[in-house]
């Protein structure tokens, strides 16, 4: 199967630790609108049936389900699905499935839409993961993905800072979960919060903060900073791709009409099954 068991296990623990219940509805909606900015809701048929590949805590599913006929939530982690089920109580048009992306329980060509946000880049083989998703789609159906960018839109100094942080991440990600959780809490306090606060102040003074490190967190809660610090430092497998590479990934999976979001988070991209 196209998964790393240690990575799956760590994500299950992460979602139990950060089940998203402490995040305000306003913050969840704003994040949802950013990730789904390029999704073609107007072309999804009434009563559409689709899937969330790697649903995690179910935070996106809770926003998508009211807009569609039925949503299938798939995750390889039983712990993650347990959290998702709790977050989706009262949502009657959702089914959950414990399965890897290459083992989704659907017939080929049966789904009206699909999305996989922040998942493919944690698979051993992102290309195979996307191909499995696209196989489940009907011709013309949209597929939305979010894949970590290779900082191709950032200046050289920004990429250099990231490379330094990535050496740190590579070491911390292989430590026991309790240890990397503790490190992530320290990083959230000493790095995420100060940089996000500085970006908020600089923006208030009228300056552009587009290239300020972690400036996208200037409107996010400290809870999200803690969660994302663990997500960043705790994941053993992390593939990053340029915009060009992601475009090729989409094309090789059988998608066309590829459209990228021009705003953070990078890169969110949608395509239609050929």
Q: Are 95 and 73 in contact (CB under 8 A)?
A: yes
pLDDT, one tens digit per residue, over 244-265 is: 999 999 999 999 999 999 998 9
Residue 8 pLDDT > 90:
yes
Strand-pair partners of 269: 145, 260
% residues pLDDT > 70 (the chain): 100
**Which pLDDT value is given to residue 17?**
95
Distance separating the N- and C-terminal Cα atoms of the chain: 26
Q: Are 64 and 25 in contact (CB under 8 A)?
A: no
pLDDT, one tens digit per residue, over 49-59 is: 999 999 999 99
Confidence of residue 227 (pLDDT cuts 50, 70, 90): very high
Q: State how far the Cα of 228 lies from the Cα of 184, in Å rounded to an integer.
A: 9
In sequence order, the 6+-apart residues with CB closer than 8 A to the CB of 119 are 53, 54, 101, 129
**How do beta strands 94-98 and 113-117 pair?**
unpaired
Query: What DSSP element (H or E) covers 187?
Result: helix 177-187
Strand-pair partners of 270: 144, 259
pLDDT, mean of residues 104-111: 95
Q: State how far the Cα of 88 lies from the Cα of 176, in Å rounded to an integer.
A: 30
pLDDT, one tens digit per residue, over 181-192 is: 999 999 999 999
Q: State how far the Cα of 184 lies from the Cα of 233, in Å rounded to an integer.
A: 7
- What is the model's pTM? 0.94
Q: State how far the Cα of 247 lies from the Cα of 207, in Å rounded to an integer.
A: 32
Cα separations (Å) of 106 from 51, 92, 94, 219? 10, 20, 15, 38
**Which pLDDT value is given to residue 1?**
84
**Which pLDDT value is given to residue 210?**
86
Residue 153 pLDDT > 90:
no
Residue 73 pLDDT > 90:
yes
pLDDT, mean of residues 190-208: 95
Q: Which of 53, 225, 80, 66 is nearest to 144 (CA)?
A: 53
């Amino acid at each position: 199967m196209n998964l790393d068991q240690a990575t799956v296990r760590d994500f299950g623990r992460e979602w139990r630790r950060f089940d998203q219940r402490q995040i305000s509805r306003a913050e969840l909606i704003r994040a949802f609108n950013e990730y789904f900015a390029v999704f073609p809701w107007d072309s999804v048929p009434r009563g559409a049936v689709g899937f969330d590949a790697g649903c995690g805590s179910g935070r996106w599913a809770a926003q998508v389900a009211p807009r569609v006929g039925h949503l299938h939530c798939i995750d390889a982690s039983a712990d993650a699905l347990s959290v998702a089920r709790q977050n989706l109580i009262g949502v009657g048009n959702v089914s959950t499935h414990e399965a890897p992306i290459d083992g989704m329980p659907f017939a080929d060509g049966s789904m009206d839409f699909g999305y996989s946000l922040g998942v493919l880049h944690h698979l051993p083989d992102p290309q195979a993961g996307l191909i499995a998703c696209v196989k489940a789609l009907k011709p013309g159906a949209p597929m939305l993905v979010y894949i970590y960018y290779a900082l191709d839109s950032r200046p050289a100094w920004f990429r250099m800072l990231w490379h330094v942080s990535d050496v740190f991440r590579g070491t911390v990600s292989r430590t026991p979960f309790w240890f990397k959780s503790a490190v992530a809490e320290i990083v959230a306090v000493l790095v995420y919060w100060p940089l996000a606060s500085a970006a908020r102040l600089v923006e208030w003074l009228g300056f552009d903060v587009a290239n300020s490190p972690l400036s996208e967190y200037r409107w996010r809660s400290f809870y999200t900073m803690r969660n994302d610090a663990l997500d960043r430092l705790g994941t053993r497998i992390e593939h990053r791709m340029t915009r060009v590479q992601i475009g090729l990934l989409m094309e090789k999976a059988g998608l066309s009409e590829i459209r990228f979001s021009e705003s953070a988070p990078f890169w969110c991209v949608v395509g239609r099954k050929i």
